[in-house]
Chain A
Amino acid sequence: KGALKIENEYIRVLFDTNTGLISKIDNLHKNLSLPVTQSFYWYSASTGNSESGQPSGAYIFRPKGEAPFPMSKKVQTYTVQTDLFQEVYQNFSSWCSQTVRLYKNQKFVELEWTVGPIPVGDNIGKEVISRFDTPLKTDGIFYTDSNGREILARRRDYRPTWNLSQTEPVAGNYYPVNSRIYMKDGKIQLTVLTDRSQGGSSIKDGSLELMVHRRLLYDDNRGVGEPLSEPGYDGNGLIVRGKHFIFLETVDDSAELHRLQAQAEYMAPWTIMAEGAGTPYSSH
């Protein structure tokens, strides 16, 4: 019966009726609308090939092919809607899920993802990404930060100080993302804030991706001497949970939003409990 959606005063998120994936984000205050498809994919880790024996490992990201595998083409969803927040739960697979959340009066969409333990019973190392696909015309340009200080423009298959002969179309375009990555056309900017350092890129125009988890079966021969395969507390593999904060704004007004929110995230309030009734108190 109509598309699933969540919305507050500022933002509306629509979900595809058939797939259950995010399909569109609207900024209601600025009257901006952007078709966005967000989903999880995994790259098959290289174990070396005829061009190079270099496997993917702790130091080296080297996928086997350029196209990642979709975690799921269709996700199961259910929604919880209250006066304070609205959430859509998306189940991608037995080891990947996400909550899409909009709190009252918040100007961004919160994605809380849970990934792992990554199965490797098929003897394939996997590097999992969250990818946002849009029709934005970005001309191969995207932006990543260095600890939220200097935002650097990155251009696909290009280095500013030498003539690059690109041999790794995916890994060769990955950059460190300490707190944010964004892309824009002349009018709209889509910004993703992270809660931890990750690798990220824009492999195609209008697309952003962030690597959220990886589990590998071979050492990359760069010194660590063991495959990157964290066992987790029960030995079955690590489960990670994190957040991405999505801003859809005009190019002019984006920085004020994402910089303030990144500060608030980096220095989030501590929550400390105590037994008993306590006494109301607020410091000055």
Chain B
Amino acid sequence: IGDSSVLRKAMGVAQHHDAVSGTEKQHVADDYAKKLAKGWDRCEVLVSNALAGLSGLKQNFIFCNKLNISVCPRIEELGQFTVTLYNPLARAVNVFVRIPVNGTRYTLTDPKGSSVLNQIVPVSDFTKAVRKDRGYAVNELVFQARVPALGFSIYSVSRKSDSAVFRRPPPRR
């Protein structure tokens, strides 16, 4: 059962001026983080239910909370997956999406079934250093998506055979 009240309460607790300004003791900061993480866990279920209800498709949605460091172990190896983009703004937006993957060639289709230009690039050395590379994705899939106002788009991704090996462009010092 999805439930937003856990996150709502955690957000309520984090309204304290110490949480806003970062002047709390470390163990209190840790506690705020724990409460917020637990709140988001329950919201993931809520969002999954909402997406399934709105689209009429029942799927096991995967939430990747570390995309900023190119970490999402549950999709990196998949041959086929979908990317759902929900736009909370009241106007349509174009966004660039970066997904960690291990393949080197993918086909991508937009909600109308049309092919979408995409790029595979290696994860940067900086990102590898941050995540102390523990077997995480080696590449990123980058594409531009359009998402309608207050709505969502689903893009489909399929891995092609890795016949062509990606070569990093020669560094320019």
Q: Is A272 an interface residue (CB 8 A)?
A: yes
Q: A99-B124, A225-B25, A280-B113 are in contact. Are A271 and B64 (CB under 8 A)?
A: yes
Tell me the A90-132 residues at the B interface (CB within 8 Å). 91, 97, 99, 103-105, 114
Q: Is B24 an interface residue (CB 8 A)?
A: yes
| Bound-complex Cα distance A63 to B23 (A) | 18
CB atoms of A224 and B117 under 8 A apart: no
CB atoms of A272 and B169 under 8 A apart: no
Q: A78-B173, A226-B25, A278-B59 are in contact. Are A103 and B86 (CB under 8 A)?
A: no
| Bound-complex Cα distance A58 to B19 (A) | 12
CB atoms of A79 and B24 under 8 A apart: no
Chain B binding site: helix, strand, loop or mixed by DSSP? mixed
Tell me the B128-165 residues at the A interface (CB within 8 Å). 129-130, 142-145, 147-148, 151-154, 156, 158
Q: Please, could you name 29 A-B residue pairs with CB atoms under 8 Å apart, sorted by A?
A: A78-B172, A82-B142, A103-B144, A104-B144, A114-B126, A223-B23, A224-B18, A224-B23, A225-B25, A228-B22, A241-B69, A264-B89, A270-B47, A271-B83, A271-B85, A272-B61, A272-B85, A273-B61, A273-B72, A273-B74, A274-B59, A274-B81, A275-B62, A276-B82, A277-B156, A278-B154, A280-B113, A281-B153, A283-B153
Q: Is B99 an interface residue (CB 8 A)?
A: yes
Residues of A within 8 Å of B59, CB to CB, are: 274-276, 278
| Bound-complex Cα distance A281 to B113 (A) | 9
* Interface residues contributed by chain B, number (CB under 8 Å): 75
CB atoms of A84 and B119 under 8 A apart: yes
| Bound-complex Cα distance A228 to B23 (A) | 8
B68 to chain A minimum Cβ distance, whole angstroms, is 6
| Bound-complex Cα distance A276 to B62 (A) | 11
| Bound-complex Cα distance A99 to B121 (A) | 14
